[in-house]
Amino acid sequence: MRMKILLAILLTAVLLLSSCAPLAQYKGGELVRLWDDPPTLDPHLTSDVSAGVLVVEIFGGLVTLDRDLKVIPDLATKWKVSPDRKTYTFTLRRDAKFHNGKPVTARDVKWSLERAADPKTRSTTVDTYLGDIIGVREKLRGQSQEITGVKVIDDYTIEITIDAPKAYFLSKLTYPTGFVLDRENVEARRDWFKNPNGTGPFKLKEYVPGERLVLERNPNYHLEPPKLDTVKFLLAGGTPMVMYENNEIHLTGVGLADLDRVRDPQNPLSKELHVAAPSFETSYLGMDVTRPPLDDIKIRQALAYAINKDEIASKVLANRVKAAYGVLPPGFPAYNPDLKGLGYDLEKAKNLLTESKYGPDPKKWPRITLTVPGELGTAIGLDLEAILAMWRDNLGITVEVQQVEWATFLEELDSHRLQMFALAWMADYPDPQNFLDLHFHSQSVNNQTRYSNAEVDRLLEAARVEEDEKARFSLYQQAEQIIVNEAPWLPLWYPGEGYILIKPQVKDYLLLPIVVPKYRFVYLAK
Amino acid sequence: MGAYILRRLLWTPLLLLVVSFITFLLGHYGPGDPVQMLMGQYRDPEVVARIHKQLGLDKPLLVQYGIYLKNTLRGDFGESFKYRGRSVAELIGKRVWVSSQLGLAALILSLLLGIPVGLFAALKQGRWPDTAIISGTLVFYSLPVFITAPFLLMFFVLWLGILPSYGWGGLFDTRIIMPALVMGIPGIAFIARMTRNSTVEVLAQDYIRTARAKGLTELVVYWRHVLRNAMIPVFTVVGLGLATLVTGAIITETYFGIPGVGRLAVEAFFSRDYPIIMALTLIIASAYVVANLIVDIGYRFLDPRIRYD
C-alpha cells in the first residue's frame, strides 16, 4: 500500500515536471505566412510539399523527424529490432492522444496502415513508403484484407515485419503515408479531413479552401507543445514582398528581382534577410545513356567538363544556389565532401571529344535535344542559357531546347522518350537510398536515364541491408563516385529556399532542408 | 420575340452537349495523365494502373463519357482528381461567384467612366481635349496588369498605407478597389474610345441634322438621338463581355490574393483535373450562350429596325 502511494507521488512528480517545462515556454501569438492550397489534408494521400507541411503539423505516426533531422519517437516511445533486423516491435506512448482526447492504441496503428494500403484509398505513395512491410502489396492487389506483417500484441505494442533488413525503413515511416488516423473520424464523412482528429502538435482550427487555413496549438501534445497560439496560412496568393513590407505576413522568400534592393545595407530590410542552407535537393541534367550520341560516356563527360558551374552560380544566379558536383546534397546522410566531381576542365573536355566514337566534330553527330519542363511561357532559366552558351562556345556543340509543360514532360520522361532533360530531385526522407538506389539501380522503375552498371547495382543492393551505418554510407559513397564518373546525371545545383526575409520578432523559425514538423518550435518575441 | 427566345433556349442543351464532348475528347487524347501528375516524378506503372481503375479511367472512352453525362444530368459534377475528396461544385461554386463580382465591379467602373469620357471627346471632336483623350486612352488601354498592379500596390499600400494588399470581402469591401481598377482601367479606355468613335459617326448622320433643323434643343438631340444610336456597338462589346465574368482573371487574382476561379482553372488544366475542366467549360459555354441572347434581345430595344420573327 505504502509503496503504491509512494509510486503515485513519484509519478505525479514526474508528470508535473514534464508538463511544467513546456508550459513555461508558451508565448502565444499568431504567425502568418503565404502558402499554397494543399491538394489534400489526408496523410495517406499526401504526395507533395504543400500538403506535407500542413499534414505533419496536424497528424503524427510512430516516428518523426526532429529538428536535427534524426528519426525520433512520436507515438511510439521505443522499439526493439529482432536479430534478423526484419521485425520491429514498437511500444506506444501511454500519454499519446488524438485531438479529441481519445488515447492512441496499437489497433489504431494497424487500422491506419491497412487503410493506407486499401486500394479504395487510392494512395499514390503507399507502395514507396509502406511497400517494404510484408503483406502490403497483397492488400493493394486486393488479395488480402489484412496486412499480414502488422500484428497487434496488446493495446500498446505493435509488431511490424518487413521483407528484408532495410536500414531505411524507419526513415520511410516518418512520411505521412505511415501516419495514424482515428477510424471513427475517417469513416464519419467523405470529407472528414475538414475536421481532422489527428495527434500532431496543432489542430486544424479553420480551413476555407483557396483562402486560408489556420492551425491552433494542441496544448496536450505529447512531445513539446507549440509556443504559438495559431499559425495562419494564406492560400489565395498575393504579392509577397508588398505583404511583407506592409506587415501582413511574417516571412517570405526573396526572388532575384528584389534581391539587390533588399541586400543593400542602406535598406533596413537587409537586417531581416536570412540565407537558408540548401535543401535536400539536387538539380541536374539527365542523359539517356542509350541514346546516341549520349550513349558514349566520353561525350557525357565532355559535356560536364565544359561548363563552369561555379561561375554560373555566382555571376548568373547571385549565389542563390551552390554548384553541385555529386548526387547527394550537402548535409544529407552519406554526403561525401571528398567526392571527385567532373569540374570545369576545358582541355579534358576537348580531349574526350577527340577520343569519342562520334569524333571531334559535333556537327557530324546525331542531334542533342534538351527537354525542359515549363508552364505559362516561363523562360528556360538563366542557368540553362549559360550552360548552352558554354557548350556552344567551348566545344562547338549546339544543343536544341524543347520546352513542354509539366504533364507532357512527365509522360515523355516515363516512356523514356527524352534524350536529355532538366530536372531536380528533392529527398522524401533523409536516406541515400532515396537518391541513389531510386535513380541508378538498373532495375528501379525510376531510373530515367536507363543507366546500368553491375558494380553499382551490387553496391546499392549491399547498402540496402548493411547493418553498420558507417559501412553502409561507405557503400553508397562508392556507388556515387562511379555514377558521377560515368555521368548519367550532370549535377547542376543544390537549390534551396535561398534568401528569406523573416520579421525580427519571429524566433526559432528553422530553415530546414526537408519537411519536418517545425512550427511548434517557433515563437514571437514581445 | 417569345418564340425566338424559346427557340434559342431549346438549342442550348445540344450546343452544350457538343462542347462537352469535344472537351472530353481533347482532354483524354491530349498528352499528360492526371494520376501521373499526382505522383510527380515517382514512376510506378502498377500504381498508375491501380488508381486509373479506381477512378474509372481504364474504361473505354465512350463509356466514360456516358457515365460523365449521366452524373452531370443528375447534377453531380464529380470529385476533383487533384483536390481529392472535394466535390467540383464545392471547389468551383464560390470561386466563380467571387470572380463574377470582381468582373462586374470592373465592368461597372468601365461603363461609368468610359461612356462620359468618350462622349466628351466626341463633342470636342478635333480639338485638343479630343486628341488628349484619344492618346491618353491608348496608353491606358495598352498598360498590362503587371505594370498597373504593382504600381497600385506601391501607391495605396506602401506609400499611402490606406489599403490592405490582399484579400477579398465582396463588392462593398475596400479590398475590391485595387483589383477592380486594374481590370477596369483598360476597360475604361476601350469603352471611351469606342463611345467617342461611334458618337462621331452618329453626329455626322442626316437624321441628326434633321433633328437640329426641327429645332430640338441640343440636350434632346444628344439624349434621344445620338446616345441611343451610338451605344449599339458599345452594347455589343459589353454584352459579350458579360460571359468573361465567370472565367476569372488569373494574374489580377494572384496579385491581390483573391480566391477567384482563374487560378483554379489554370491549375486544373495543367494538372489534367478532368472533372474541374469539364465543369468549367460547361459554365463558360453557358455564359456565352446567355450573353449572346442578352445582346440579341437588347438590340431589339436599342434599334427598332431589328426584328426577330
* Cα B296 to Cα B293: distance, rounded to the nearest angstrom: 5
Q: What share of chain B has pLDDT > 70, as a percent?
A: 99
Q: Which of residues 241-270 of B touch A (CB under 8 A)?
A: 253-259, 263-264, 266, 270
* Cα A144 to Cα A133: distance, rounded to the nearest angstrom: 14
pLDDT above 50 for A311: yes
Task: Name the maximum alpha-carbon separation found in chain B.
Answer: 85
Please list, in sequence order, all residues whose beta carbon lies within 8 angstroms of the beta carbon of residue A389, skipping any fewer than 6 positions away: none
pLDDT at residue number B3: 83
Q: What share of chain A has pLDDT > 90, as a percent?
A: 73
Asked whether residue B73 is domain-assigned, the answer is yes
The answer to whether B168 contacts chain A (CB < 8 Å) is yes
The answer to whether the beta carbons of residues A135 and A150 sit under 8 Å apart is: yes
Among the ranges given (A64-78, B124-138, B182-196, B222-236), the one the predictor scored with the smallest mean pLDDT = B222-236
- Say whether both B40 and B178 belong to one domain: no
DSSP B187-219: HHHHHHHHHHHHHHHHHTSHHHHHHHHTT--HH
Q: Do A128 and B44 touch (CB under 8 A)?
A: yes
pLDDT at residue number A5: 40
Among the ranges given (B194-208, B272-286, B293-307), the one the predictor scored with the smallest mean pLDDT = B293-307
Question: What mean pLDDT do residues A351-361 have?
Answer: 91
Cell matching residue A288: 539517356
Asked whether residue B11 is domain-assigned, the answer is no
Question: What mean pLDDT do residues A508-516 have?
Answer: 88
Asked whether residue B63 is domain-assigned, the answer is yes
Asked whether residue B8 is domain-assigned, the answer is no
Q: Which of B51, B73, B88 is the last residue of a domain?
A: B88
Q: Which of B88, B111, B135 is the last residue of a domain?
A: B88
- Say whether both B183 and B207 belong to one domain: yes
pLDDT top residue among A404 and A13: A404
Residue A376 banded pLDDT, cuts 50, 70, 90:
low
Among the ranges given (A8-22, A138-152, A340-354, B69-83), the one the predictor scored with the smallest mean pLDDT = A8-22
Please list, in sequence order, all residues whose beta carbon lies within 8 angstroms of the beta carbon of residue A155, skipping any fewer than 6 positions away: A92, A105, A106, A107
Q: Is the ipTM of this complex over 0.90?
A: no
The most confident of the ranges A234-238, A472-476, B218-222, B303-307 is A472-476
Residue B113 banded pLDDT, cuts 50, 70, 90:
very high
Q: Do B91 and A127 touch (CB under 8 A)?
A: no
Residue A377 banded pLDDT, cuts 50, 70, 90:
low
The answer to whether the beta carbons of residues B50 and B39 sit under 8 Å apart is: no
Range of the domain at B131: 94-302
Helix, strand, coil content of chain A in percent (nearest 5): 35, 20, 45
Residue B2 banded pLDDT, cuts 50, 70, 90:
confident
- Say whether both B36 and B120 belong to one domain: no
DSSP A40-101: ---GGG--SHHHHHHHHHH---SEEE-TTS-EEESSEEEEEE-TTS-EEEEEEPSS-B-TTS
Number of residues in chain B = 309
Asked whether residue B238 is domain-assigned, the answer is yes
* Contact list, A128 vs chain B (CB under 8 Å): 42, 44
- Say whether both B180 and B31 belong to one domain: no
**Which one of A47, A49, A118, A246 would you mutate to disrupt binding with B, by most B Cβ within 10 Å of its Cβ?**
A246
pLDDT at residue number A379: 66
Cell matching residue A509: 523559425
* Cα A510 to Cα A68: distance, rounded to the nearest angstrom: 10
Helix, strand, coil content of chain B in percent (nearest 5): 75, 0, 25
Distance of CA A226 to the CA centre of its chain: 23
The answer to whether the beta carbons of residues B78 and B86 sit under 8 Å apart is: no
Question: A172-211 pLDDT, tens per residue?
Answer: 999 999 999 999 999 998 889 999 999 999 999 999 988 9
DSSP 8-state symbol, A329: P
- Say whether both B24 and B170 belong to one domain: no
Which residue in B300, B304, B236 sits closest to B1, CA to CA?
B300
Answer left, alpha or beta for residue A238, where phi above 0 means left and psi between -120 and 50 means alpha: left
The answer to whether the beta carbons of residues B139 and B190 sit under 8 Å apart is: no
The answer to whether B160 contacts chain A (CB < 8 Å) is no
* Cα A448 to Cα A434: distance, rounded to the nearest angstrom: 14
Distance of CA A157 to the CA centre of its chain: 29
| Cβ-based contacts under 8 A for chains A and B | 146
DSSP 8-state symbol, B171: T
Residue A170 banded pLDDT, cuts 50, 70, 90:
very high
Q: What share of chain A has pLDDT > 70, as a percent?
A: 94
Q: Which of B63, B88, B113 is the last residue of a domain?
A: B88
The answer to whether the beta carbons of residues A333 and A432 sit under 8 Å apart is: yes
**Which one of A139, A211, A258 would you mutate to disrupt binding with B, by most B Cβ within 10 Å of its Cβ?**
A211
Minimum distance, in Å, between the CA of residue B254 and any CA atom of chain A: 5
CATH of the domain at B276: 1.10.3720.10
pLDDT at residue number B114: 94
pLDDT at residue number A470: 94
Q: Which residue has the cell 531581416?
A: A272
Which residue in A526, A516, A517, A506 sits closest to A244, CA to CA?
A506
The answer to whether the beta carbons of residues A27 and A227 sit under 8 Å apart is: yes
pLDDT at residue number B219: 86
Q: Could you give the domains of chain A?
A: 1-57+200-274+497-526 (3.40.190.10), 60-186 (3.90.76.10), 281-495 (3.10.105.10)
The b-or-e profile of A11-21 (16+ CB within 10 A means b, else e) is eeeeeeeeeee
Among the ranges given (A90-104, B211-225, B291-305), the one the predictor scored with the smallest mean pLDDT = B291-305
Question: What mean pLDDT do residues B239-262 have?
Answer: 87
Minimum distance, in Å, between the CA of residue A41 and any CA atom of chain B: 9
* Cα B134 to Cα B189: distance, rounded to the nearest angstrom: 9
DSSP 8-state symbol, A190: T
Question: What mean pLDDT do residues A391-417 have?
Answer: 90
Residue A484 banded pLDDT, cuts 50, 70, 90:
very high
| Residue B224 backbone dihedrals phi, psi, to 5 degrees | -90, -35
Nearest-CB residue to A122 (from B54, B86, B259): B54
Question: What mean pLDDT do residues B243-263 have?
Answer: 88
- Say whether both B218 and B121 belong to one domain: yes
- Say whether both B258 and B171 belong to one domain: yes
Residue A1 banded pLDDT, cuts 50, 70, 90:
very low
Asked whether residue B2 is domain-assigned, the answer is no
Residue A497 banded pLDDT, cuts 50, 70, 90:
low
The answer to whether B157 contacts chain A (CB < 8 Å) is yes
- Say whether both B204 and B159 belong to one domain: yes
pLDDT above 70 for A465: yes
* Cα A34 to Cα B166: distance, rounded to the nearest angstrom: 11
- Say whether both B207 and B282 belong to one domain: yes
Angle between helices B88-123 and B261-270 (to 10 degrees): 120
pLDDT at residue number A12: 40
Half-sphere exposure of A143 (CA within 13 A, CB side): 7
pLDDT above 70 for A127: yes
| Residue B286 backbone dihedrals phi, psi, to 5 degrees | -60, -40
Q: Do A423 and B41 touch (CB under 8 A)?
A: yes
Residue A25 banded pLDDT, cuts 50, 70, 90:
confident
Cell matching residue B244: 468573361
Question: What mean pLDDT do residues A302-330 have?
Answer: 90
Asked whether residue B98 is domain-assigned, the answer is yes
Question: B135-144 pLDDT, tens per residue?
Answer: 999 999 999 9
* Contact list, A235 vs chain B (CB under 8 Å): 259
- Say whether both B156 and B246 belong to one domain: yes
Nearest-CB residue to A407 (from B86, B164, B270): B270
Asked whether residue B42 is domain-assigned, the answer is yes
Q: Which residue has the cell 462589346?
A: B237
Q: What is the pTM of this model?
A: 0.87
* Cα A320 to Cα A258: distance, rounded to the nearest angstrom: 13
Minimum distance, in Å, between the CA of residue A109 and any CA atom of chain B: 22
Q: Count other Cβ atoms within 10 Å, centred on residue B97.
A: 14
Residue B309 banded pLDDT, cuts 50, 70, 90:
low
pLDDT at residue number B275: 93
Nearest-CB residue to B270 (from A125, A248, A406): A406
pLDDT at residue number A173: 95
pLDDT at residue number A405: 85
- Say whether both B144 and B285 belong to one domain: yes
Number of domains chain B contains: 2
- Say whether both B65 and B99 belong to one domain: no
Residue A378 banded pLDDT, cuts 50, 70, 90:
low
Nearest-CB residue to B38 (from A47, A119, A446): A47
* Contact list, A425 vs chain B (CB under 8 Å): 41
